[in-house]
Structure 1
């Protein structure tokens, strides 16, 4: 548990300070990444406006195709080193390479976290020390406000089997929660280095919602994140299978070198997308 808490406190502190550090950094986002001009506010959650980043596949402008959509969190850390607080995932570079190799394209819609509101946004349940507990409002916003806007604005494949939800740490927790709560909306779930420790309510929730047969879920964890993190992840895997989650749709990967950081998630992202979407 000590490794978990240390990582958690680091990310909390970093999220508060990253804005002071980005001025000297070079922008690295590719040309097919942009920020939506429309302002999104979730009044029930907080009064902070949430910027939405959108990655479009390389052939979006030159084709009339429709594309699967992957919804993600912590947008500041996904595309641009200048806005990240601990390195970026290089989601755009990874998907550009995947497109060049396979011809498969994706739209990625990423919501910026609210800084010191991040814990509230990404946790469905309260923690006696860290607070939180407004994740349900955040997921409802993605499902009921953001996704309809994206489907009306871009050429998407809106069906469940094409719609993903991927995140790490607390973002992994809210992705796991959102996937199990809305299995008719999200068909592909990536829960990376997930903060299952945050609340024991996740056990009760899994028992109620885990019996799914049309959702693909990958659980990723690194051994260097700590024994408790690996054990929590394996316990969730076991519990899901016991509830009736279809085994062929569930994958758990334990990377012996994986740490709780963006470098780890970046290194695994392309493989995760390929498994979720059956790309050979």
Structure 2
């Protein structure tokens, strides 16, 4: 493990020469509120919408806005906003637009752009409809989080037939609850977990059913809560331990007391995407006797870097825990290597290959539509221990 650990740290430490990028907005909508601050939100800052480090500077000489971001690696995905998802940029018809993309390179450059509309200022906003299934309910709009001295909205999905039966069910805990069930509350698209599980149940492929508990993210504190380690560049992180303690010592006991659950680690899972994937990884390592099923979607391992690998070396994972990894080949050059590095660290720490599922989808991107599509396969593999697993319709690396 020591030789591998040193090699992995060296691998993470090597960085090709990269140069900063300056983004310059030459035009913004004429109805932009006077004095508004415009921010860049993207993969470089965990999609924080009001990060002061990514506020554009206004130039009164020509009315432009500019921001220079430090050198990075791989592909940068981003958008512009006035400080929230409600004020995100939109296209000429005031409809959602795909992420902007820019590749870091060896030479500094200026990227000139225009913002056509703001969602809240661009005229008629296409109405969002609630899309959550009837068997999804809000446990509490402000569930107490004593470990963080905050409150949070918590959602619960009950499998079909729950109300009429007496059996107990496995539980899956998901992060970024706004995006799990309801298009109305999502800030970048929903996973449709409820529709997926309802569909599997109707087809007789739901493995007996599962409760899903989804916790909203903390908005401006999202990066803080989803990593126990502080990232100096992002200037966030450090509250992940308290957040996981909330899940384990406050939320899970409540769920197990008030719902018919199977509380053992073999029937308790945790999953998330991006920073939520990092958090799920940490939670399973921190509490191996609690979380025995781990779903890791496009994890933001870059945020933790060497700290995560050191944690794996110091906190032996439970060999019987099942880990499902999935990401897209189009998520930048570091996504697959970093995910593979963590997979190898788990192997060296004693997790057998049979309990590690590693998937790279050729068309996958860092987006909710991708994670929505991949959820069924992850759920099936994580909770179908001992059952045959259907072949995935994409690249799978054991």
Give the TM bin, normalised by the shorter chain.
Answer: over 0.9
- 1:192-235 per-residue CA deviation (whole Å, 9 max, x = no partner) reads 11111112200101112244212001111111101111110111
Which residue of the partner structure matches residue 53 of structure 1? 155
> Which of 129, 135, 138 pairs up with 1:26?
129
Q: Offset at 1:45?
A: 2.2
Q: Write the distance in 1 (CA, Å) between the matches of 2:185 and 2:358.
A: 30
Q: Offset at 1:124?
A: 1.0
Which residue of the partner structure matches residue 96 of structure 1? 198
Q: Which runs of 5+ in 2 are unaligned?
A: 1-14, 19-40, 50-78, 88-118, 389-398
Task: Give the TM-score of the pair, scaled to structure 2.
Answer: 0.66
Q: Offset at 1:52?
A: 0.5
More helix by share: 1
- Structure 2 residue 139 is the aligned partner of structure 1 residue 36: yes
- Structure 2 residue 220 is the aligned partner of structure 1 residue 116: yes
Across the two proteins, how many residue pairs are aligned to each other?
277
CA contact (8 A) 1:212 1:246 kept: no
> Which of 261, 268, 290 pairs up with 1:163?
268
CA contact (8 A) 1:18 1:83 kept: no
Which residue of the partner structure matches residue 359 of structure 2? 253
> Which of 84, 87, 99 pairs up with 1:17?
84
Q: Write the distance in 2 (CA, Å) between the matches of 1:232 and 1:168.
A: 15
Which of the pair has more CA radius of gyration? 2
Local SS of the residue matching 1:224: coil
Q: Which runs of 5+ in 1 are unaligned?
A: none
- Structure 2 residue 239 is the aligned partner of structure 1 residue 172: no
Which range is displaced more, 6-15 or 22-31?
6-15
> Which of 37, 43, 48 pairs up with 1:7?
43
Q: Summarize the Cα distance change of 1:156–1:8 in structure 2 as closer, same or farther, 3 Å threshold.
A: farther
Which residue of the partner structure matches residue 208 of structure 1? 314
CA contact (8 A) 1:225 1:258 kept: yes
Instruction: Write the mapping of 1:76-95 to structure 2, written as runs, cut at 5 A.
Output: 76-95=178-197
Instruction: Write the mapping of 1:93-242 to structure 2, written as runs, cut at 5 A.
Output: 93-101=195-203, 102-103=205-206, 104-130=208-234, 131-199=236-304, 200-242=306-348
Q: Offset at 1:9?
A: 3.6
Q: Offset at 1:99?
A: 1.4
- 1:249-268 per-residue CA deviation (whole Å, 9 max, x = no partner) reads 11111111110010110000
Q: Offset at 1:62?
A: 1.4
More strand by share: 2
Task: Give the TM-score of the pair, scaled to structure 1.
Answer: 0.93
Q: Write the distance in 1 (CA, Å) between the matches of 2:229 and 2:271.
A: 19
Q: Write the distance in 1 (CA, Å) between the matches of 2:147 and 2:296.
A: 25
Q: Write the distance in 2 (CA, Å) between the matches of 1:182 and 1:67.
A: 20
Q: Write the distance in 2 (CA, Å) between the matches of 1:27 and 1:211.
A: 39
Which range is displaced more, 197-206 or 238-247?
238-247
Q: Summarize the Cα distance change of 1:256–1:46 in structure 2 as closer, same or farther, 3 Å threshold.
A: farther
Greater relative contact order (Cα < 8 A, sep 6+): 1
Q: Offset at 1:46?
A: 4.5
